[in-house]
Amino acid sequence: MHSIDRRCFLKSISAAAGASVLTVPQSFAATPKARVVVVGGGFGGASAARYLRLLDPGIDVTLIERGKLYTSCPLSNEVVSGERDIRTLQRGYEGLARRGVKVVHAEVTQIDPIKKAVTTGDGIAYSYDALVMAPGVDLDYSAIGGLTEELADTRIPHAWKAGPQTLLLKKQLEAMPDGGRFIIAVPKAPFRCPPGPYERAAQVAMHCLHHGKKKAKILILDSNDTFSKRPLFEQAWKALYGYGPGGMIEWIAGASGGIVESVDAGAMTCQTTFDEHKGDVINVIPPHRAGKIARDIGLATLKGNWCEVKPESMESKAHKDIYVIGDSCVGGELATGNGFPKSAHMANSQAKVVVASLVAKLNGLPPPVPIYTNTCYSVVGHDWGFSVVHLFRVENNQWVYVAKGSGISPVTFGTKEAPKPVPRVYRKMEAEYADGWLRNLMTDAFG
Amino acid sequence: MTKNLLALALLGLSAAAAARDDIEVLARTCNGCHGVGGVSVGLSMPSIGGLPQKYLKNIMKQWKYDERSAITMNRIVKGLSDDEIDALAAYFAKQRWVPSPQPAAADLLAKGRSAVSENCEDCHGITGSDPDVDAPRINGQWAKYMELELLKYRDGKFKMPHRKMKKSAQDMKSADVPAAARYFGAQDK
Ligand SMILES: Cc1cc2nc3c(=O)[nH]c(=O)nc-3n(C[C@H](O)[C@H](O)[C@H](O)COP(=O)(O)OP(=O)(O)OC[C@H]3O[C@@H](n4cnc5c(N)ncnc54)[C@H](O)[C@@H]3O)c2cc1C
């Protein structure tokens, strides 16, 4: 070892000891110790790319993402209602590039898990030692009669991938007359952001209330029989907008005829199992499945829709050295109904698990103990927010849902026998925290 | 060669170091809301890196055992063991305090400064960077966050066990609350 190398080496060891054994110093970065390719630059993929470089700059990281500007879905319901400028939700990839992530804007069209190479639409191949898949979800338009991708872009937006459709839905809402009807069709679970449709209903109602459309109706046609944070939503809907007969918001469960089977864009109607519903705005959210590229290479081992992974590392059950995170994967305590929610925070948390495990592995260190956390805030009025928190640990290579460290904001105070209302100031503060949370989460992912 | 040496050298580190890895993993779960190293960029979310260890430990335990109200944190810490809380407190206390000085109008700052020198300086220092042992640093803490926190101390509906801080907050004129928060938020040192 040259003396210079030796000095660097000693310095690095002390730096490593001082900071963390898993934070590997830069001086070893001369030749990359491994090449990691990340497919998809949403919350999951961006977080993985950023943390790989933060923890070990000796790893060569390439992020392949088709879009140049990412729009956060979280808080995009506030864009629909006119409460928020969409630009506050947008981030480019410069922050990641500054961290030394090689950002490639292209469509990934092929992956060869045997040769370990990813190919983009322009025919360029990127070989990898480890591949992190974070392509998000695909929406299955064919599941709803009469619905096409083109219709979603023009007449019947889902606005479930934030961007142009979010603005289209906002425009449609603005054009809706007083007395108009706004239909939200919710797909069968699992879908991304379990509380999202119900937050949207509240945001739409708020818009109507503040824009002289007090006679507007928001009709939620649900393919499911219950929903996330339900008591909190119902409480807020009642207090703020009126819920049920005579109120602005109405919810129809799947069992009561909420399942939308087809749409007619000309007549602007939704056909459910029992009825036909006419809307001025129709917001159909099609059923979800793992991103196409993940399904194409056989990662979707659960019913062909979702990618199963190993709890300790998020490595795919189907292919070695491929890790699947974010909305495409399934995990958690499925048997007890406590699966991983498909959320941005969860995708960020999963990315950190993959990175910690990969960095340890690539440096020949023992695997760290993973931990998964999630928080989803919902904002249902100017000064009314609430949240759900999740904690999962791994024991004996199984996910364990930790009920003690999970749960929704309180619905009532006091006792079960003598409940008291939760003071409004609690709801107001939670709406404020939602904004701070998103800013930090976006920075944690995109730099 | 270097790679192997590095790995070996790192493997040779003590069990304490390995345990510290777990704390890194755990601490990283806080970054989504409090930023890397506990440096927040969200106006309503506090920076926590570099706060005193005792303060950190104390409030997390108070949340865990329902001795103190919170909106989100009380639910999060209930899933953590006391040892994890202690380790997190030690970890974040070791980080550097990075103030995020936020500009504010001169008249508001002047009003804030006069309120602070009268009622808060004794315990927080005139810029918030010289706190009593049981108080956190608040120079360059996010003003929006501090306003919400002051509301918790002032509003009878929150359980806030620190009697003296509570009394100081309740004695404030309501117009001084945003002024004091903006003033502390504007300090970089
Ligand atoms: C209205 C709404 C509100 C929400 N609110 C919240 C909330 O409050 N809190 C929360 O935590 N979550 C929320 N979510 C959920 C959150 O948006 C998702 O869970 C999160 O985006 C998942 O991250 P991901 O990385 O898996 O996927 P995405 O963020 O969708 O990223 C996937 C990326 O992969 C790219 N990609 C896919 N295939 C390819 C390919 N073949 N080649 C190149 N690039 C490709 C896509 O362009 C995309 O950028 C909300 C969602 C919606 C719709």
Residue A41 near ligand 1, beta carbon < 6 Å: yes
Mean pLDDT lowest among A14-23, A315-324, A387-396, A423-432: A14-23
By the 8 A CB rule, do A25 and A16 touch? yes
pLDDT at A274: 87
pLDDT at B11: 42
pLDDT at B109: 97
In chain A, which among 195-254 make CB contacts under 8 A with chain B? none
Distance between B83 CA and the closest CA of chain A, angstroms: 15
User: A129, A444, A446: best mutation site toward chain B, by most B Cβ within 10 Å?
Assistant: A444
Q: Do B2 and A5 touch (CB under 8 A)?
A: yes
pLDDT at B22: 85
Cα(A417) to ligand 1 centroid in Å equals 42
Closest-lying ligand 1 atom to the alpha carbon of residue A346: 11
Residue A76 near ligand 1, beta carbon < 6 Å: yes
Mean pLDDT of A385-402: 97
Q: How far is CA A211 from CA A78, A197, A222, in A?
A: 15, 21, 26
User: A7, A8, A12, A22: best mutation site toward chain B, by most B Cβ within 10 Å?
Assistant: A22
By the 8 A CB rule, do B96 and B37 touch? yes
Percent of chain A with pLDDT over 90: 92
Residue A91 near ligand 1, beta carbon < 6 Å: no
From the CB of residue B86, how many other CB atoms can be counted at a distance below 10 Å? 17
Cα(A220) to ligand 1 centroid in Å equals 23
For B157, name the nearest residue in chain A, comparing CA atoms only. A423
Q: Does A366 reach chain B within 8 Å, measured CB to CB?
A: yes
What ranges in A301-417 are assigned the alpha helix state H?
Answer: 344-362
Mean pLDDT of A335-351: 97
Residues on chain B touching A406 (C-beta within 8 angstroms): 75, 79
pLDDT at A24: 56
Considering chain B, tell me which residue range(s) the CATH 1.10.760.10 domain(s) occupy.
2-93, 106-185
Mean pLDDT lowest among A78-92, A347-361, B6-20: B6-20
Residue A42 near ligand 1, beta carbon < 6 Å: yes
Handedness of CA A139, A141, A144, A147 (dihedral sign): positive
The ipTM, to two decimals, is 0.91
pLDDT digits (tens, 9 = 90+) for A250-280: 999 999 999 999 999 999 999 998 899 999 9
Main-chain dihedrals φ then ψ at residue A8, nearest 5 degrees: -60, -45
pLDDT digits (tens, 9 = 90+) for A32-61: 899 999 999 999 999 999 999 999 999 999
User: B6, B80, B82: best mutation site toward chain A, by most A Cβ within 10 Å?
Assistant: B6
- Reported as a pLDDT band with limits 50, 70 and 90, residue A345 is very high
Residue A135 near ligand 1, beta carbon < 6 Å: yes
By the 8 A CB rule, do A27 and A11 touch? yes
pLDDT at A17: 36
Q: Does A147 reach chain B within 8 Å, measured CB to CB?
A: no
Mean pLDDT of A303-327: 98
Residue A196 near ligand 1, beta carbon < 6 Å: yes
Q: Do A17 and B13 touch (CB under 8 A)?
A: yes
Chain A to chain B Cβ contacts (< 8 Å): 149
Whether A85 has a pLDDT exceeding 60, the answer reads: yes
Q: Do A387 and B76 touch (CB under 8 A)?
A: no
Which residue's CA lies nearest to atom 45 of ligand 1? A40
- Reported as a pLDDT band with limits 50, 70 and 90, residue A16 is very low
Q: Do B145 and A426 touch (CB under 8 A)?
A: no
By the 8 A CB rule, do A366 and A360 touch? yes
Higher pLDDT, residue B7 or A403: A403
Q: What does pLDDT average to over chain B?
A: 91
pLDDT at A22: 52
Share in percent of chain B as helix, strand, coil (round to 5): 60, 0, 40
Residue A160 near ligand 1, beta carbon < 6 Å: yes
Residue A73 near ligand 1, beta carbon < 6 Å: yes
Is 3.50.50.60 the CATH classification of the domain at A6-138+289-366?
Answer: yes
Q: Does A16 reach chain B within 8 Å, measured CB to CB?
A: yes
Residue among A13, A389, A441 whose CB faces B76 most closely: A389
User: A21, A314, A355, A400: best mutation site toward chain B, by most B Cβ within 10 Å?
Assistant: A21
Whose tokens are 């889902």? That residue is A158
- Classified as helix, coil or strand, A70 is strand
pLDDT digits (tens, 9 = 90+) for A218-235: 999 999 999 999 999 999
Query: What architecture is the B2-93 domain classified under in CATH?
Result: Orthogonal Bundle (1.10)
Considering chain A, tell me which residue range(s) the CATH 3.50.50.60 domain(s) occupy.
6-138+289-366, 141-286
Whether B13 has a pLDDT exceeding 80, the answer reads: no
Q: Do B79 and A13 touch (CB under 8 A)?
A: no
Q: Do B32 and A425 touch (CB under 8 A)?
A: no
Whether A428 has a pLDDT exceeding 90, the answer reads: yes
Mean pLDDT of A112-120: 98
Which residue's CA lies nearest to atom 6 of ligand 1? A74
Q: Do A363 and B7 touch (CB under 8 A)?
A: yes
pLDDT at A278: 98
Q: Do A369 and B29 touch (CB under 8 A)?
A: no
pLDDT digits (tens, 9 = 90+) for B82-127: 999 999 999 999 999 999 999 999 999 999 999 999 999 999 999 9
pLDDT at A31: 81
In A177-268 the beta strands, taken as DSSP E runs, fall at 181-186, 217-222, 249-252, 260-264
State the CATH class of domain B106-185: mainly alpha
Percent of chain B with pLDDT over 90: 88
How many Å apart are CA B28 and CA B22, to the nearest integer?
Answer: 10
Residues 6+ apart with CB under 8 A from A2: none
Mean pLDDT of A431-445: 98
Q: At what angle do helices A424-446 and B143-154 cross, to 10 degrees?
A: 150
Residue among B44, B76, B80 whose CB faces A432 most closely: B44
Residue A133 near ligand 1, beta carbon < 6 Å: no
Closest-lying ligand 1 atom to the alpha carbon of residue A43: 25
Cα(A341) to ligand 1 centroid in Å equals 13
How many Å apart are CA B39 and CA B59, to the nearest integer?
Answer: 18
Residue among B31, B43, B151 whose CB faces A436 most closely: B43
Which residue's CA lies nearest to atom 7 of ligand 1? A74
Residues on chain A touching B71 (C-beta within 8 angstroms): 409, 426, 429-430, 433
State the CATH class of domain A141-286: alpha beta
How many Å apart are CA B180 and CA B112, to the nearest integer?
Answer: 4
Mean pLDDT lowest among A28-32, A38-42, B62-66: A28-32
pLDDT digits (tens, 9 = 90+) for B157-181: 999 999 999 999 999 999 999 999 9
- Classified as helix, coil or strand, B34 is helix
